[in-house]
Amino acid sequence: MDFTFTEDQLLFQESVRDFLVNEVTPERIRRCWESGTGRDPELWGQLAELGLTGMTVPEAFGGLGMSEVDFVLLAQECGYVALPEPLVHTVLVAVPMLAELGGALAAEWLPKIASGEALVVVGLEENQLVEDAHVADLLLLQQGDSLFAASRDQVDLRYNESVDPSRKLYAVTVSSGATEVARAADAQALIARALNRGALGSAAQALGLAQRMVEISVQYTSERQQFGQAIGAFQAVKHHMANVAVRLEYAKAPVYRAAYELAVSGERSGRAVSHAKLVACEAANLAAKNCIQVHGAMGYTWEVDLHIFMKKAWALANTWGDAGFHKSRVADDIFADNAALGAGATFA
Amino acid sequence: MKLSFSAEDEQFRAEVAGWLQDNLKGEFARLRYRGGPGDEHTYPEERKVWEQKLAEGGWTCVGWPKEYGGKGCSIEQQVIFFEEYARAGAPGRVGHIGEGLAGPTIIAFGTEAQKQKYLPGIVAGTELWCQGYSEPGAGSDLANVKTKARFDEVRGKWVLNGQKVWTSLAHESDYCFVIARTDPESVAHRGLGFFLVKMDQPGIEIRPIEQITGTSEFNEVFFDDAECDAGDIVGAPGDGWKVAMGLLGFERGVSTLGQQMQFQNELDDIVALARENGAADISDIRQRIARAHAELKIMRYNAMRMLSGHSVSDGSLQKEALIYKLFWASWHRSLGELAMDVMGPECEILEGAPYELSRLQAMYLFVRSDTIYGGTNQIQRNIIAERGLGMPKEPRPALK
């Protein structure tokens, strides 16, 4: 048993974090909010140059051929900066689905994703709305028991404004000419795995979002003076932060565990993923609540950056399966006959 | 990352399970599932014999290095040992304070003579330990210890005077590790010593404290010219706080694995009851059970993540360990509430007179102490915020 990341994985995380913290500043995110598409093609190019868009693209198609375990720490860093670009979606959802579909579709699109030339997005019924459909070159869409591939001119898009101004969400209807790429059981399996990977991506980002909110708040409460001292010295303030720290630290192991499960088995990863999604999003939502509280009235302003992270956490908690969906999945698993729960089932 | 056990580890699992199956029977059969939280007072004599039975089989101190009489088990094997111990329903360990706390502290900080004098009795399951930290005036403010230790040149011994309180299993113990003030002029954490004290002597009086369960597991311990040998101080006079804090690293290291499996048994009881009485069909109960299960998994995964990344003996566990107490204590308290909600109206009715609680009822009452002993939730949050997050310390009145 080894529950740790390798030196290489940790070094990669560190260098990606350095890049993201320098490049994806709150100011740049706010500029994105004001831009036409809400996207930042220059930033996407930089991400591709670092090899990040091709992380999970097989080496034969020009990618790095890495796994969910390799990417999970990077997804955390994407959350840490509230990255508006759909990198986590690309790496964890779109690329693996294309690779599983294989054939001409994979051969055409995977190299373009790795090089940053193309964006492919996935729309599942569990999610209702598709992020970044307006700038996608190819859409993989669930329609009942089938999966279709459509180019942007084969779909009709209706924009929905998100509470997180970084998210660009569209209701998508297939108009004509889309190709059915999988059906029935095959499609169901692809959809189930995509849902699990999307949920893992949200969970990992939630960890980073919570971490960032904590750091912002520790700094603020260490500086802000009232009653002649830093407010962070008051127990009533620091206990809010301690509660978040515990939730956050303890959400990490289930997220890493879920990444491992997806990387090695894929099939029986549902419970591990649901567990991870629930606890990571809870940690992020608790962070949002308590961090706003310790900021006082400043936390309620548009000017303070806290809400950038708070709103992404809020949105992610309800994508790729909301809390009710994931709770039911865990509960059903526990109450199943012959559920593997106790001694000897540590990694079941 | 590799989240599975090797074939050798699974072989070890079969060995543990086989031994327990062969030995946890006959005179020991009635000990099954006894002696856990809220039930520590039951079958003390029989459980002492069980300790020695375990020792005969080589199953005490499994994580200790071999040179000190341990089994030198890897983290994986310790995980497996505790899993199988719980699965067999083997009883709560009366030796756990010696094995989990006193022994590792002596190994880390003790002299060669102390190791030879004290470790064999712990390994053999013949000598039990208790912990002398809290005092009437030193609860949350643990460093405010008033018990004094003075070296008597004539007798060549340390002489202790003062009082400890909330001392678990003192009445069953052979030894107590005691923090006491060696420098009478000192205050707070400076000027303390860490002593290994024999309980059976004229200078020590033990008075049980009756708990809300109606039973007595902890005690007041009075020291009135109690003695220990010159060589029974761990570290130098003045090092007591450092040693006492080092010990907490062990408390939150591998010894948590056994505790988590006890929790698993309690949760299994609750799930079984919920299936039996229909509470499992109530969606609120279902979801709370699912949450309890998920959070217990978190504790186990996190323990393994910490243990596979760090060495327990070098103290590097401490930062992550800061958060464990608050999490498990709050979890366990909620589990007690969940257990009573699953029982429904039945939860009021005792097993019998006088005041005979069922396992779950005893657990529900016991968990009220979890968020208090060993540092209250409020103290834990202060520590997490100040040491973990680096938030400003609360100003304290100047020490006199």
Residues B233 and B257 in one domain: no
Give the distance between the most distant pair of CA atoms in chain A: 69
Task: Note whether residue A166 is domain-resident.
Answer: no
Residues B262 and B155 in one domain: no
Residues B287 and B343 in one domain: yes
Q: Which two tokens stand for residue B187?
A: 């205050």
B305 chain-A contacts, CB cut-off 8 A: 3-4, 252-253, 256
Task: Note whether residue B246 is domain-resident.
Answer: no
Q: Is the pLDDT of residue B310 over 80?
A: no
Residues B266 and B219 in one domain: no
Q: Is the pLDDT of residue A10 over 70?
A: yes
Closest CA to B133 of B149, B122, B148, B145: B145
A252 chain-B contacts, CB cut-off 8 A: 302, 305
A261 chain-B contacts, CB cut-off 8 A: 3
Q: What is the pLDDT of residues A96-107, one digit of tens each?
A: 999 999 999 999
Percent of chain A with pLDDT over 70: 99
Q: Is the pLDDT of residue B292 over 90?
A: yes
- Residue A51: what pLDDT? 96
- What distance in Å separates the CA atoms of residue B135 and residue B115, rounded to the nearest whole number? 27
Per-residue HEC secondary structure of chain A comes to CECCCCHHHHHHHHHHHHHHHHHCCHHHHHHHHHCCCCCCHHHHHHHHHCCCCCCCCCHHHCCCCCCHHHHHHHHHHHHHCCCCCCHHHHHHHHHHHHHHHCHHHHHHHHHHHHHCCCCEEEECCCCCCEECHHHCCEEEEEECCEEEEEEHHHEEEEEEECCCCCCEEEEEEECCCCEEEEEHHHHHHHHHHHHHHHHHHHHHHHHHHHHHHHHHHHHHHHHCEECCEEHHHCHHHHHHHHHHHHHHHHHHHHHHHHHHHHHHCCCCCHHHHHHHHHHHHHHHHHHHHHHHHHCHHHHHCCCCCHHHHHHHHHHHHCCCCCHHHHHHHHHHHHCCCCCCCCCCCCCC
Q: Are B305 and A3 in contact (CB under 8 A)?
A: yes
Residues B170 and B192 in one domain: yes
Task: Note whether residue B1 is domain-resident.
Answer: no
Task: Note whether residue A286 is domain-resident.
Answer: yes
Task: Note whether residue A116 is domain-resident.
Answer: no
Q: What is the mean pLDDT of chain A?
A: 94
3-state SS, residue B260: helix
Residues B329 and B212 in one domain: no
CB contact under 8 A, B4 and A279: no
Residues B259 and B383 in one domain: yes
Nearest CA in chain B to A324: B287
Q: Which two tokens stand for residue A75?
A: 């997804």
Q: Are A124 and A100 in contact (CB under 8 A)?
A: no
Q: Is the pLDDT of residue B315 over 50?
A: no
Task: Note whether residue B113 is domain-resident.
Answer: no
Q: Which two tokens stand for residue B44?
A: 């003390």
- The distance of Cα A91 from the centroid of its chain, to the nearest Å, equals 10
Domain containing residue B227: CATH number: 2.40.110.10
Q: Are B353 and B288 in contact (CB under 8 A)?
A: no
Task: Note whether residue A348 is domain-resident.
Answer: no
Angle, nearest 10°, between helix axes B359-370 and B255-277? 140
Which of B75, B384, B391 is nearest residue A221 as measured by Cβ atoms? B391
Q: Chain A neighbours among B 320-379 (CB < 8 Å)?
A: 320, 323, 326-327, 378
- What distance in Å separates the CA atoms of residue A205 and residue B95, rounded to the nearest whole number? 44
3-state SS, residue B391: coil
Chain position carrying tokens 């689905």: A97
Strand partners, B176: B130, B197
Separation in Å, CA of A270 to nearest CA in chain B: 13
Q: What is the pLDDT of residues B167-215, one digit of tens each?
A: 999 999 999 999 999 999 999 899 999 999 999 999 999 999 998 888 8
Which of A241, A275, A327 is nearest residue B297 as measured by Cβ atoms? A275
- Residue B311: what pLDDT? 54
- Residue B138: what pLDDT? 92
Q: How confident is the model at residue B238 (pLDDT cuts 50, 70, 90)?
A: very high
Q: A289 is in which domain, residue-wise?
A: 186-334
Task: Note whether residue B119 is domain-resident.
Answer: no
Task: Note whether residue B112 is domain-resident.
Answer: no
Nearest CA in chain A to B265: A342
How many Cβ pairs within 8 Å bridge chains A and B?
165
> Higher model confidence: residue B208 or residue B254?
B208
Task: Note whether residue A81 is domain-resident.
Answer: no
B282 touches chain A (CB under 8 A): no
Q: What is the pLDDT of residues B259-287, one digit of tens each?
A: 888 899 899 999 999 999 999 999 889 99
- What distance in Å separates the CA atoms of residue B285 and residue B287, rounded to the nearest whole number? 5
A246 chain-B contacts, CB cut-off 8 A: 323, 326-327, 384
Q: Is the pLDDT of residue B313 over 60?
A: no
Q: Are B231 and B114 in contact (CB under 8 A)?
A: yes
A69 chain-B contacts, CB cut-off 8 A: 1
B301 chain-A contacts, CB cut-off 8 A: 3, 253-254, 257
Q: B338 is in which domain, residue-wise?
A: 252-388
Strand A155-161 to A168-174 pairing: antiparallel
**Domain total of chain A:** 1
Residues B194 and B294 in one domain: no
Q: How confident is the model at residue A178 (pLDDT cuts 50, 70, 90)?
A: very high
Q: How confident is the model at residue B255 (pLDDT cuts 50, 70, 90)?
A: low
Separation in Å, CA of B232 to nearest CA in chain A: 38
B395 touches chain A (CB under 8 A): yes
Residues B90 and B160 in one domain: no
CB contact under 8 A, A222 and B391: yes
- Residue B341: what pLDDT? 94
- Residue B199: what pLDDT? 98
- What distance in Å separates the CA atoms of residue B344 and residue B340, rounded to the nearest whole number? 6
Phi, psi (rounded to 5 degrees) for B149:
-120, 125
Task: Note whether residue A1 is domain-resident.
Answer: no
Q: Any idea which residues of B carry the catalytic annotation?
A: 251
Task: Note whether residue B69 is domain-resident.
Answer: yes
- Residues whose CB falls within 8 Å of the CB of residue A329, separated by 6 or more in sequence, listed in order: A270, A271, A274, A321
Which of A2, A239, A335 is nearest residue B286 as measured by Cβ atoms? A335
- Residue B250: what pLDDT? 72
Nearest CA in chain B to A218: B391
Separation in Å, CA of A340 to nearest CA in chain B: 11
- Residue B145: what pLDDT? 95
* Mean pLDDT, rounded, for B347-363: 90
Closest CA to B390 of A241, A80, A209, A284: A241
Task: Note whether residue A152 is domain-resident.
Answer: no
Sheet holding A130-131, edge to edge: A130-131, A168-174, A155-161
Residues B234 and B336 in one domain: no
**Domain total of chain B:** 3
Separation in Å, CA of A197 to nearest CA in chain B: 18
B11 touches chain A (CB under 8 A): no
Closest CA to B165 of B178, B183, B149: B178
- Residue B317: what pLDDT? 53
Nearest CA in chain B to A223: B392
- Residue B324: what pLDDT? 87
Domain containing residue A271: CATH number: 1.20.140.10
Task: Note whether residue A142 is domain-resident.
Answer: no
Helices (H) and strands (E) in chain B, counts: 13, 8
CB contact under 8 A, B395 and A229: yes
- Residue A343: what pLDDT? 72
B289 touches chain A (CB under 8 A): yes
**Cβ neighbourhood burial of B38 (10 Å; 0-12, 13-18, 19+):** buried
Q: Which two tokens stand for residue A287?
A: 């962070």
Residues B233 and B259 in one domain: no
Separation in Å, CA of B205 to nearest CA in chain A: 38
CB contact under 8 A, A238 and B302: no
Which of B265, B275, B392 is nearest residue A230 as measured by Cβ atoms? B392
Q: What is the mean pLDDT of chain B?
A: 91
- The distance of Cα B17 from the centroid of its chain, to the nearest Å, equals 24
A278 chain-B contacts, CB cut-off 8 A: 294
B264 chain-A contacts, CB cut-off 8 A: 341-343
- Residue B91: what pLDDT? 94
Task: Note whether residue B395 is domain-resident.
Answer: no
Which of B290, B323, B378 is nearest residue A330 as measured by Cβ atoms? B290
Q: What is the pLDDT of residues A184-241, one digit of tens each?
A: 999 999 999 999 999 999 999 999 999 999 999 999 999 999 989 999 999 999 999 9
- Residue B4: what pLDDT? 87
> Higher model confidence: residue B345 or residue B309?
B345
Best mean pLDDT range from A266-280, B54-68, B312-326: B54-68
- Residue A32: what pLDDT? 94
Nearest CA in chain B to A7: B1
Residues B216 and B279 in one domain: no
B385 touches chain A (CB under 8 A): yes
B140 touches chain A (CB under 8 A): no
3-state SS, residue B89: coil
A128 φ/ψ sector (left φ>0, alpha ψ -120 to 50, else beta): left
Which of B5, B326, B381 is nearest residue A1 as measured by Cβ atoms? B5
Q: What is the pLDDT of residues B26-50, one digit of tens each?
A: 999 999 989 887 788 889 999 999 9
Q: What is the pLDDT of residues A32-48, one digit of tens each?
A: 999 889 999 999 999 99
- What distance in Å separates the CA atoms of residue B200 and residue B174, rounded to the nearest whole number? 7
Mutation target for A interface from B311, B391, B393, B394: give the one with most A CBs within 10 A.
B391
Nearest CA in chain B to A344: B83
